[in-house]
Every structure is written in C-alpha cells, then in structure tokens.
C-alpha cells in the first residue's frame, strides 16, 4: 500500500497530498534555510514525481539561486506565511516539502544533515545522523 503524505500551511489555505515514498529526508543548515525557517535549519522530504502532487490553494512563489547557481522556487502561503514547498528548475520532477507542514510531522525520518559548515552551536543536530559540510556528492 502506498503511503499518502498530507499536509499544508498553518492556516489551512494551502494543502498538498502526495502518494509514494520520499527519496530523501534531510535537515539543511544553510543560511537560506535558517532565514526561511526563522531558526537553525530547515527539515525536508523530497519526492521524485511532481506530477503526483495534488496541491490545493494558492501559493506565493519566489525564486532564489542555490550554491550551484541553479534556480530554486519556494512556495509559501500568502495568508499565514508558512513555507510549504520547494522546487528546482534543473530537476523539475522533484517536489520538496517542509517536514513541519505534514499533518503528521512524526512521519519525518531524517537520514542526513547538509550544510553543517553553516551550523550554529545553539542548533545541534542528532549526533548519529550523517553530516555533510555542503551537499553530499552525487
Ligand atoms: Zn496558510
Ligand atoms: Zn538549506
């Protein structure tokens, strides 16, 4: 049976429903994720088949460039401001959601943490989680 991941923003205006398993679950301690989350890191689930994502409600999107120079698009709710999703121009099939936007945030199982080079002492990540200074190779 395929698991369905459901969630949305804090006010409920923006919702998603995604069947299938995430291909990656990670924390990111980069500066962008700190500013967007308002704390030390972002926590994400990445899904490989964007066409399976059912999104309802209207997101506001804005664009930024990653370290690689590739464009990232971030979607948030214009009413409550919650960050909800992230997509990449260079990998259009990927759809990334913020872990805390899940209706059941406990279903987030982080596998790695990236951009440890930008981390702060006040934001420790679980010791047993593999950490990368930037993005992991490949
Ligand atoms: Zn909202
Ligand atoms: Zn980041």
4-118 folds as 2.170.150
Instruction: Determine the distance separating the centroid of ligand 2 and the alpha carbon of 67, expressed in angstroms.
Output: 10
Is the pLDDT score of 101 beyond 70?
A: yes
Instruction: Determine the distance separating the centroid of ligand 2 and the alpha carbon of 125, expressed in angstroms.
Output: 14
- Of all residues in the chain, the percent with pLDDT exceeding 70 is 98
95-120 average pLDDT score = 97
Which tokens belong to 44? 């994400």
Query: DSSP label at 68?
Result: T
Q: Around ion ligand 2, which residues have CB less than 5 A away?
A: 28, 30, 33
80-92 average pLDDT score = 96
101 within 8 A of 95, measured Cβ to Cβ: no
pLDDT of 67: 77
CA 20 to chain centre: 16
Domain ranges of the chain: 4-118
- Return mean pLDDT, the chain: 95
2-8 average pLDDT score = 92
pLDDT of 138: 58
CA 89 to chain centre: 15
Is the pLDDT score of 1 beyond 60?
A: no
**Phi and psi at residue 38, in whole multiples of 5°?**
80, 5
CA-to-CA distance for 128 and 30, rounded, in angstroms?
Answer: 20
Side by side, which strands form the sheet with 4-8?
4-8, 15-19, 54-56
Please list, in sequence order, all residues whose beta carbon lies within 8 angstroms of the beta carbon of residue 101, skipping any fewer than 6 positions away: 7, 8, 9, 16, 82, 83, 84, 85
116-133 average pLDDT score = 96
More confident residue, 105 or 20: 105
pLDDT of 16: 98
CA 13 to chain centre: 18
40-48 average pLDDT score = 98
Q: Nearest 5 degrees, angle CA 104-CA 109-CA 115?
A: 120
């Amino acid at each position: 049976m395929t698991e369905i991941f459901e969630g949305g923003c804090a006010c409920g205006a923006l919702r998603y429903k995604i069947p299938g398993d995430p291909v990656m679950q990670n924390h990111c301690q980069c500066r962008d994720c700190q500013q967007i989350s308002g704390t030390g890191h972002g926590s994400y689930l990445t899904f490989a088949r964007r066409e399976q994502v059912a999104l309802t409600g209207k997101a506001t999107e804005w664009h930024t460039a990653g370290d690689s120079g590739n464009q990232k698009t971030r979607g948030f709710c214009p009413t409550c401001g919650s960050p909800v999703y992230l997509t990449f121009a260079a990998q259009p099939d990927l759809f990334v959601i913020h872990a805390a936007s899940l209706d059941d945030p406990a279903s987030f199982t982080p596998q790695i943490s990236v951009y440890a080079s930008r981390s702060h002492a006040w934001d420790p990540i679980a010791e047993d989680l593999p950490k990368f200074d930037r993005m992991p190779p490949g």
